[in-house]
Amino acid sequence: MGGQPIIAYNLAMLAAGGFTDIVINLHHLPEVVRAYAGSGERWGLRITYSEEPELLGTGGALSPLAAQFGAETFAVVFGDNVNDIDVTDMLARHRASGALATVAVCRRDDVSQSGVAEIDAHDRIRRFIEKPQAGETDSRWINAGVVLAEPGLLGYLPPHGAADLGRDILPRLLEEPGGVHAYPMTGPHWWFDRMEDYQAALNDPRLQRLARRIPSHG
């Protein structure tokens, strides 16, 4: 996208937000990802890798890594989107809210293929709906694939097997103290579900500007 792999945007975003230690989950063509991202040095990051022979989903993939997260706030970033998020601001608002988790959300007219969040006046998420049917919700806020979380979330992970973060884990936190908050994005979010989405992103000058901030490869 814009001459850069999608993962490059996510690594640059996390580095700009002050994160230093990154684990990349690998399944399909792991050698390609390793060859590109390497040790993370050019982003100022320390990258390690987690091999996943069988797909475990966005929640299950965290279980083998839980011991590495320690006692600090951590981020989960989905690898199939590009977002222009000020992670420093998102992190500050997450901590001020006292939430167990904060989910970046963006507006989308057609939410039928997305995870939708219903949000109250204080940006607390009250309900998640995965790929809603027509008329099921009035919300147009979708999960943008960037989640900040406290170590308490790790206690809700399955000990083994597949699980989805948006479907199986985050809904269980909604009524817990602190709950789950939303971070309504002001910057763009690009998704690539269809060829026309891909072409629209390629032609978006905002993505081209974002691409120029990424360190060169090699």
| CA angle centred on 23, ends 19 and 29, rounded to 5° | 135
pLDDT of residue 218: 57
> What residues contact residue 139 under an 8 Å CB cut-off, 6+ apart?
111, 116, 117, 118, 119, 129
Number of neighbours of residue 18 by Cβ within 10 angstroms: 9
Within 13 Å, how many C-alpha atoms sit on residue 116's CB side? 19
Kindly give the residue spans of alpha helices, DSSP state H, lying in the chain. Answer: 6-16, 30-37, 57-60, 66-69, 87-97, 170-173, 195-202, 205-211
Q: Phi-psi bin for 131: left (phi > 0), alpha (psi -120 to 50), beta?
A: left
pLDDT of residue 126: 96
pLDDT tens-digit profile, the chain (218 residues)? 888 999 999 999 999 999 999 999 999 999 999 999 999 999 999 999 999 999 999 999 999 998 888 789 999 999 999 999 999 999 999 999 999 999 999 999 888 888 899 999 999 999 999 888 888 999 999 999 999 999 999 999 988 889 999 889 999 999 999 999 999 999 999 988 789 988 999 899 999 999 988 887 75
pLDDT of residue 130: 85
Domains detected in the chain: 6-100+144-211 (3.90.550.10)
* Element at 46 (helix H, strand E): strand 46-51
pLDDT of residue 171: 94
Number of neighbours of residue 107 by Cβ within 10 angstroms: 13
Please name which of 79, 64, 76 lies closest in space to residue 170, comparing C-alpha atoms. 76
